[in-house]
Structure 1
Amino acid sequence: MKYFILTALLFGLFFGQAQAQKGFLRGTVFDGETGEPLIGAVVFRQGTTDGTVTDFNGNYSLPLQAGTHTIVYQFVSFRTTTVENLEIVAEKVNTLDVTLQSDVEELAEVVVTAQVIKNSESALLSVQKKSANVLDGISAQTFRKIGDSNLSGAMKRVTGVSVQGGKYVYVRGLGDRYTRTTLNGMSIPGLDPERNDVQIDLFPTNVLENVMVYKTFSPELAGDFAGGTVNVETKSFPEEKTTRLAIGLGYNPKMNLINNFTSYEGSNTDFLGYDDGARKIPLDPQTEIPRPTSPEPANAGELLESYTRSFNPTMAAKNQSNFLNSSLSFNHGNQLDLPGVKFGYGVVLNYQNQYDYYGNTVVSSYFKDNNKDVNALDAQFVKNGELGRQNVLWSGLITSAVKFNKHELGLTFLKTQNGIKTATNRVSQDFEETSQTAYENILTYTQRSLTSPTIYGKHNLNKWTLQWSNSVTLARVYDPDFRQVLIAEVPQYQGGEQVGVQYFISGGQGGSAGRFWRDLNETNENFRLDATYALNEKVKLKVGGAGLYKWRTFDTFAYNFSTNQPVENDADWILRPENIWTPDSRQGIYVSGNYEAANNYEARSSVNAAYVMSDAFITPKLRAIFGVRAEQAQMYYTGQDNLGSTVYDDEQTLDQLNLLPSLNMVYSLKENVNLRGSYGRTLARPSFREKSIAQILDPVSGVTFSGNIDLEQTNIDNFDLRWENFFGREEMVSVSAFYKKFNGHIEQTRFELEPREVTWQNIGGSYVYGLELEFRKKLPVEGLMLGSNLSWAQSHVDMTQIIVSRDEINNTMTTEYESRKQQARTDETIDKDRVMAGQAPYLINAFLNYSDFNGINSLSLSYNVQGESLSVVGVGQVPDVYVKPFHSFNLNVTREIGERKNGQIRFTIDNILGDSKEQVWKNHESGDELFSRFDEGRTFTLRYQYSF
């Protein structure tokens, strides 16, 4: 084996030296009419036999001696295109994409002068122009210009797209189940047990090639989306040898290099994004923990003491010093032209460590006043304090691909690891019931990981083109040892006068102390096969199939610490050795909490699909893409309720066959002007968590999530109309209108009498409609470009269909509409409709790019804001919560340095306006009351990159 490796290395060195005497011309040849790659086009150096043929992706690679050449591009029934004065540099790759125009009557030759062409933004616009779907996207070049480090920041630049909570994508105001995210066309699981969407902040931009957002449905796409399908494409086949190393440091005056950063001692590997076992459960989750008064077993007291002492004693947040935000990345890739074979490979490694500190956070709860003449809200409690968060993310991407004859085989392996350590120290003031002051410490850690190997193949067999892929994705969300302590301050009176205070964590005094573990593991296996048959130059038939199989386990374990005796106002005091309950003293802190089956479940599902569709040019100007997709979905559930009276053992909860037709029409008004119209039937299925009988208390938020085993899927009818004009290189303008009707819309709802318990239910009729405008225009100043996209949307949910309480004795029910009417203020009118949760009425994205400005390679200003949106749906006396607009204004400046321009410095300023993120309680004609506020400050980042 060692001789084989040595031989391979020597061959690689020899071959690399031989190739170093030449340069390469690489690119793609496109069909000017359809925009698709041309397979088998001939590319050669004029006057010689030095040439090559494009592969089934339309790609070519031609080695040439250093110097100036004339290159000829030919294909049957297309005009020959000749490119003159093309300069080739030794050991460099020149990239040139060429579009051939069809002309069967006059086969005239086209002669052009060479220029640097390959531009990923232009390529992305070309894809949009020729796509069968209404789509928008963002390219790797845009990532670099704007300076976003992860996908959650970059996605905000896409038309009609917003990002909620820094990680969840909403397309056209629709998120959660209504936005589907895929990785290289393959399904990936979400990493939040209470949501259905994928957390996109796990993807750093330097591992990505582009992101496409499909806004209309066609049969080759999976049917479970309404807002859109977001396809994240990773780098795969590099066009030239690239080796880059980059390091970045970021400074926020409010968050970095401070001595009062709120944190706690975790594990030794927190800086790597995972816990080393320091937070694991110290005892078997199935352990029966005895009470202090338990007579059995004989050693119950000793066991209780031992179990209590086994927990990590750290319960309090501490002030520490912290460092700058930091990032490190490495990227290496190359494409080798071997005899009869092209081989490409790439390795991308990325590490980020970010600190967030909020010194004056506010979280509150308000109720509507009992007097309906009063519009002002009554405070239940207000919590003020500090929050510190350390967010570590690293990722690795390995890609390899080989092309030979008319085949391509490839492998992609993506691994991401994320660890978020958060510590909160705040004071809670109760205004409603006890008027007590309480002191709260919350210590949390969330560990998220995604491992996704994918193999794929592409094959051109004369008139048939086959593509297949198979991926297995392993996802885990592990929340080990969430710690929460609420120490209640209880005044002590003597003779009617206050003489002091005491502190309690239990005993009916309003305090509490607990620990919580949560572990979600999900495996997805996804495969798909797509076959395209060219009936002729104008008509293509496409058929295919896909399978998606999911397995999930979800476990939660909770423990409480109690004592009827007073404690000190110090969270760490609770588990000090001398304060632990003992059999002899019969006093002190002791642990309680046994395994609860209702907090745990297992589930699996399968979706098998097949489709057939046609892509036909009915006339030279009219293109029709139509077909149908069939999906058979099944779900199985294992779990039981709190009482143990209802038990499911791998029982089927869903068995549904769906036929999903679609029609996309594209009419070419002019060469670069399209009019699009489309209809598609899609759906949204309930998640494992929602279609269950589990009742899981989240101790951090205090909300109990109750599943609904009778939940059904949502059926959606989608209508789109779009006019687009691609009037110049990188320039375009488009106007879109859309309408979506939901039958059985799934929404999270609260219970009127128990507003801290939520469930999910189907709602009869809901709809959303809106308009989108996008433009990109070069300004008269050389290198200056202005762009913007604007979205306006309206949604309607029928509140008469939402049940918020039931009277089982009298067999009556109360709807959200009736509940709101009962709590309406004296002069308030209640409509039967409201907006969908999370749906913003408008989105504004704008950018100004200046290239090659006074020695600066790129200067970019970007702005993003979305309108006020409903965040938490109120019920009964609980009002609604809305997210206030956050004005994000950012600067990115890039400059190349060094004699060979192989160094690059990038400087960014995030949140130039210094805006804060706020949510507010709203009631009829009352002033907004703060629900939460986080002061983001301004972040200054300097990044240096060196290319070898």
Structure 2
Amino acid sequence: MKLRFLLLSLLFSAFAIAQTATVSGVILDKEMNNEPLPFANIMIKGTKTGTTTDENGKYTLKLKPGSYTLVIGFLGYDTKEIPFTVKANEKKVINYTLESNGVMLDDVVVIQTVSKEKESALLQEQQKAVEIKQSIGAEEISKKGISDVAAAVVKTTGITKQEGTGNIYVRGLGDRYNTTTMNGLPLPSNNAARKNISLDIFSTDIVEYIGIDKTFNYKNYGDFAGANIDIVSKNFKASSMLEIGTGFGMNSNAIGQDKFYQQDGPNFHGFGTEEIPNNPLGSYNFNTSWDKSAATPIDGSLFIRGGKSFNVGSNGKLSLFANASFDNGYKYNEGVSRGGVNVQGVAKRNLFKKSFDYQTNSNALLNINYKINSNHNIRINSMLINSSSQKHDEYNGVIDIFDSAPDGGGFIRRSTFDRTTLLINQLLGEHKLTERINFDWGVSYNMMKNVIPDRMQNIFVPLDNDNPTTSTLITSTLNQSDNHRYYQEMTDDEIAGNFNLSYKFGKNEDDKYKGKIIAGYSARYKEINFDATQFNFNILVPDSELPFIDLNNIDGFFNQNSIDLGYYNIQTFNGGLGSPNALKPQNFNGQQIISAGYGAIEYQFTPKLFVIAGFRSEFIIQDIKYTTALAPSGGKKNFDTMEYLPMLNAKYEVNEKQNLKLAASKTYTLPQFKERAPFQFEDVNQVYFGNPFLYNSTDYNVDVKWEYFPKNGEVISVTGFGKLIQNPINEVTVASATNDISWVNSGDKATGIGAELEFRKNLYTIEDSSNEKNSNLGFGLNISYLYTNQDLEPAKVIKETNGTINVAFTEKESRLTGASDLLINSDLSYNKSFSKDKSITATLAGNYFSDRISALGSYGKGNLVDSEVIALDFILKFKLNKNIGIGFSAKNLTDPTIERKQDIQNVVVDSYKKGRNFSLSMKYTF
């Protein structure tokens, strides 16, 4: 009887299964040009049967035969009800394209925005793309407590940041090999020393996501070998939103000082400046004090942001988004600082450094998006950034073992205020002219101004070198520039435009186009101007006649009375009072013009094989003129070149979750204006000067990648890559007593091969959609290994610089400067939702980079090498209710020693700890 019952049950179950019908389809997003819409809700009306679309917009439901109503919904979009009937064993396909309803509640705003910026959505885009690309979105940025773009990109595979700068290294390739854009349009540099703008001046508050392309794309400029980093600004699409927030924090080193010192002059907000005074050579007319002031080192931040959307006519929509923010921070570090280390390992300058640094960053952004209809869209972006750094550095010890405080007791003080103002203006358009033809364009006008107004430096030495610790101090008389005030101004104005026309062809059986032809033109015109004037306080009397210096009253010596008494006069590098060109600044200026045309074919050869073949040609002009202390009679260097840049991308879809990708390209690398200008930049322990004979390198790049997407929001990928760089440019220590640094085309070629691993996994997920109590534990890891090698040819350098730069490399071959062999980033994140409006997120993130060369050594002296660093951050965010959120961060918990050595001699030339940073923040959403 039991056996009969079991057989009947099995037969009934088999019959029931046989009677099951299947409903499936793809949901598209009309607001995103009919792209698949992930996470849309699919329900059978009047039942509990339902699902959500996957990252490709697909869904599947199992139903019994009958008549039903399919309900398709997504937050902020019109809900669609579709009646249908299915028969036994029928496979019914229901596809639909959702459209925004233009009316959303405030609590819907946040959820919808996050869904468009979340990690899973960006991974979906990465999976669909034929190109090899990476992105980090607003969700991940927020989860990891990242406040600026530089800190965001170093969380991705194969990228590190140079300590103390905004300089980014991608696969070991530094600033010169990378490019930075915003919404696809180029950005100017804010520093004469670098090609790219410092990414740390961009607040992540204005970022929707950051795209990182490590392979060349025909739409990008060819001055590229590392990565193009594209900052995509927020594009508001909801109904309305208003949010304010504030926070405070501290650095453990800074707060531990009895007094935090700053120079006189710059203000709290970082907008102030000092102009060169009237008659600076004839009398003492400087308004600011040489003496330092004290501040309370508590960091602060404040922001307000809001958005509003309006329906315009039956099909149009106007969206506005604005953001304004200010934040500041205090940092302190101390440690050894040495310079001029010789072959025997003796440092010509041996000091102990104390460094006080106060930084500000102000951002104002306005985005206007006008969706004329589903086929035409216009967007305006305008952004103002003001960033400042106020450094006050004090050094004690041996200034020069031969001439100045040879047994110690010397004192150097340098106070530097550095301010950058950047205005970005962009106008972009997207137009679907026909079903097959699209036209996209963008133009920009950017204005950048960087000033160092009134940098102050003093050097004081013991009157009695035999008793340096007890001797009184006097002003150094060794060099007239030992005590000076320095004024620098650099402007970089640029106009750029991109114009792109595409035509689809070759419909397949699914009524989709298999191919696309693209043609486009892009151009940029840059004008750069750099002026620098240094006022040297030239001592006129012997040491024995100089008054003693009180370090707490330096104004007591540098004043009009001392000039009247004949202690010193004031001169520039062009002379003093009475010299006709004394106030003429040292200057270099130049223009760079790049005019480019490009074309490409994108084609799907089979359901699994996609190929993009492109070609770009660029005509490049880079001219520079200069009049400097190293070239007082002036000079100019012009060059122009034509570059032909092919590229190929291919993707093979192994299955729905796995891809194989290939990328190959030819690119080039231009020298920068500062590197070509014979101008001398002086740090306390390092001097840099330009090489007007520099020329561009040629780069060949190839990447192969396997990627696997196990589940929504997860990825495992492995990438192998190789690069060949002809005539690479390197920083090199030239033949000089002070180990001056310049830039040269150091050899015929450099090669690099490496591998990258990326792993993102949800360790566990608990979902309770009925009560909205969800939890998730996620783990991320990326590892990059790089091997580089380059030949070093001193004869080539001497020949190409006409003997003006003399080098004798210590080694015959070397790694590339800036290249770490091993990079590791990892994070562990826990998210818990207690209800719809209450949640907690905790993230522990760490990173590591191995040793890397900063500058190549010569004449038996070792390379300057930055030692390995391990860092660890902890971020906690808590949403108390619908309106209030709080956050806590503890960064740089390991507080590693930042160290630079001169290898071979094994001498530490720089060493310090940054301290730990703690902050607490709160925001309120209306």
Pick aligned residue for 2:889 from 901, 908, 916: 908
Q: 1:79-121: per-residue Cα shift (whole Å, max 9, x none)?
A: 523799x9999735759999xxxxxxxxxxxxxxxxx965621
- 1:442 Cα offset (Å): 1.0
Letter matched to residue 778 of structure 1: N
Pick aligned residue for 1:503 from 473, 481, 487: 473
Which residue matches 1:633?
A: 620
- 1:662 Cα offset (Å): 0.6
Contact 1:259 1:321 in 2 (8 A): no
- 1:485 Cα offset (Å): 0.3
Contact 2:253 2:915 in 1 (8 A): yes
Taking structure 1 as reference, are residues 590 and 680 closer, same or farther at Cα in structure 2, changes over 3 Å only?
A: closer
- 1:238 Cα offset (Å): 2.9
Taking structure 1 as reference, are residues 62 and 526 closer, same or farther at Cα in structure 2, changes over 3 Å only?
A: farther
Q: 1:51-105: per-residue Cα shift (whole Å, max 9, x none)?
A: xxxxxxx9xx9999999864799xxxx9523799x9999735759999xxxxxxx
Q: 1:690-714: per-residue Cα shift (whole Å, max 9, x none)?
A: 234x322425455141332x32211
Which residue matches 1:867?
A: 850
Taking structure 1 as reference, are residues 477 and 756 closer, same or farther at Cα in structure 2, changes over 3 Å only?
A: farther
- 1:509 Cα offset (Å): 8.4
Taking structure 1 as reference, are residues 772 and 781 closer, same or farther at Cα in structure 2, changes over 3 Å only?
A: same
- 1:366 Cα offset (Å): 5.8
Pick aligned residue for 1:678 from 663, 669, 681: 663
2:251, 2:630 → 1: CA distance?
A: 51
Which residue matches 2:135?
A: 137
Pick aligned residue for 1:776 from 760, 763, 768: 760
Pick aligned residue for 1:314 from 276, 283, 289: 289
Taking structure 1 as reference, are residues 807 and 662 closer, same or farther at Cα in structure 2, changes over 3 Å only?
A: closer
Letter matched to residue 660 of structure 2: L
Matches within 5 A, 1:161-240: 161-165=159-163, 166-240=165-239
Matches within 5 A, 1:458-497: 458-462=430-434, 463-491=436-464
2:352, 2:476 → 1: CA distance?
A: 22
Contact 2:619 2:641 in 1 (8 A): yes
Which residue matches 1:4?
A: none
- 1:647 Cα offset (Å): 4.0
Whether 1:409 and 2:378 are equivalent positions in the alignment is: yes
Pick aligned residue for 1:272 from 266, 269, 272: 269
Which residue matches 1:698?
A: 682
Which residue matches 1:539?
A: 515
Pick aligned residue for 1:120 from 118, 124, 139: 118
Letter matched to residue 437 of structure 1: G
Contact 2:501 2:520 in 1 (8 A): yes
Taking structure 1 as reference, are residues 801 and 671 closer, same or farther at Cα in structure 2, changes over 3 Å only?
A: farther
2:515, 2:111 → 1: CA distance?
A: 25
Q: 1:562-602: per-residue Cα shift (whole Å, max 9, x none)?
A: 32232323356554379646787444565554348783111
Which ranges of structure 1 fall in alignment gaps of 5 or more residues? 1-25, 48-57, 99-115, 290-302, 371-376, 821-829
2:101, 2:492 → 1: CA distance?
A: 52
Whether 1:333 and 2:307 are equivalent positions in the alignment is: yes
Pick aligned residue for 2:808 from 805, 809, 816: 816
Contact 1:598 1:642 in 2 (8 A): no
Contact 1:921 1:929 in 2 (8 A): yes
Which residue matches 1:887?
A: 870
Contact 2:172 2:820 in 1 (8 A): yes
Contact 1:755 1:878 in 2 (8 A): no
1:500, 1:698 → 2: CA distance?
A: 30
1:877, 1:313 → 2: CA distance?
A: 45
Which residue matches 1:569?
A: 549
- The 3-state SS of whatever aligns with 2:844 is strand
Which residue matches 1:842?
A: 822
Taking structure 1 as reference, are residues 97 and 221 closer, same or farther at Cα in structure 2, changes over 3 Å only?
A: farther
Whether 1:944 and 2:925 are equivalent positions in the alignment is: no
**Which 10-residue stretch deviates more, 89-98 or 476-485?**
89-98
Which residue matches 1:852?
A: 832
Pick aligned residue for 2:490 from 498, 520, 527: 520
Letter matched to residue 633 of structure 1: I
Which residue matches 2:95?
A: 81
1:545, 1:860 → 2: CA distance?
A: 44
Which residue matches 1:283?
A: 278
- The 3-state SS of whatever aligns with 2:673 is coil
**Which 10-residue stretch deviates more, 852-861 or 568-577?**
568-577
2:203, 2:894 → 1: CA distance?
A: 25
- The 3-state SS of whatever aligns with 2:173 is coil
Whether 1:741 and 2:721 are equivalent positions in the alignment is: no
Taking structure 1 as reference, are residues 801 and 238 closer, same or farther at Cα in structure 2, changes over 3 Å only?
A: farther
- 1:549 Cα offset (Å): 0.3
Whether 1:348 and 2:323 are equivalent positions in the alignment is: yes
Contact 2:104 2:238 in 1 (8 A): no
Which residue matches 1:432?
A: 401
Give the number of aligned pairs.
828
Pick aligned residue for 2:909 from 911, 919, 931: 931
2:760, 2:725 → 1: CA distance?
A: 33
- 1:759 Cα offset (Å): 2.7
Q: 1:349-405: per-residue Cα shift (whole Å, max 9, x none)?
A: 1110101122x33211363454xxxxxx32333221422111010101100111122
- 1:505 Cα offset (Å): 2.6
Contact 1:707 1:759 in 2 (8 A): yes
2:651, 2:728 → 1: CA distance?
A: 30
Whether 1:796 and 2:783 are equivalent positions in the alignment is: no
1:189, 1:90 → 2: CA distance?
A: 38
Which residue matches 1:28?
A: 29
2:888, 2:748 → 1: CA distance?
A: 51
- The 3-state SS of whatever aligns with 2:895 is coil
Whether 1:653 and 2:650 are equivalent positions in the alignment is: no
Letter matched to residue 386 of structure 2: Q
Which residue matches 1:362?
A: 336
Which residue matches 1:615?
A: 602
Whether 1:252 and 2:228 are equivalent positions in the alignment is: no
- 1:448 Cα offset (Å): 0.8
Q: 1:311-342: per-residue Cα shift (whole Å, max 9, x none)?
A: 24622434x24142111111101333333211
What TM-score comes out, normalization by structure 1 length? 0.81
What TM-score comes out, normalization by structure 2 length? 0.83
Contact 1:799 1:815 in 2 (8 A): no
- 1:637 Cα offset (Å): 2.2
- 1:517 Cα offset (Å): 1.1
Taking structure 1 as reference, are residues 79 and 751 closer, same or farther at Cα in structure 2, changes over 3 Å only?
A: same
Letter matched to residue 717 of structure 2: S
- 1:788 Cα offset (Å): 0.6
Which ranges of structure 2 fall in alignment gaps of 5 or more residues? 1-26, 46-56, 58-71, 85-91, 507-512, 575-581, 767-775
Contact 2:408 2:469 in 1 (8 A): no
RMSD of aligned Cα (Å): 3.7
Which residue matches 1:112?
A: none
1:273, 1:499 → 2: CA distance?
A: 38
Q: 1:416-450: per-residue Cα shift (whole Å, max 9, x none)?
A: 00111111222122573233421111111000111
Taking structure 1 as reference, are residues 641 and 119 closer, same or farther at Cα in structure 2, changes over 3 Å only?
A: closer
- 1:857 Cα offset (Å): 2.1
- 1:410 Cα offset (Å): 1.2
1:488, 1:561 → 2: CA distance?
A: 15
1:788, 1:324 → 2: CA distance?
A: 34
Letter matched to residue 170 of structure 1: Y
Taking structure 1 as reference, are residues 597 and 195 closer, same or farther at Cα in structure 2, changes over 3 Å only?
A: farther
Taking structure 1 as reference, are residues 457 and 679 closer, same or farther at Cα in structure 2, changes over 3 Å only?
A: same
2:145, 2:586 → 1: CA distance?
A: 42
1:627, 1:520 → 2: CA distance?
A: 37
Pick aligned residue for 2:813 from 814, 833, 842: 833
- 1:619 Cα offset (Å): 1.2
Taking structure 1 as reference, are residues 261 and 283 closer, same or farther at Cα in structure 2, changes over 3 Å only?
A: same
- The 3-state SS of whatever aligns with 2:593 is strand
Contact 1:211 1:233 in 2 (8 A): yes
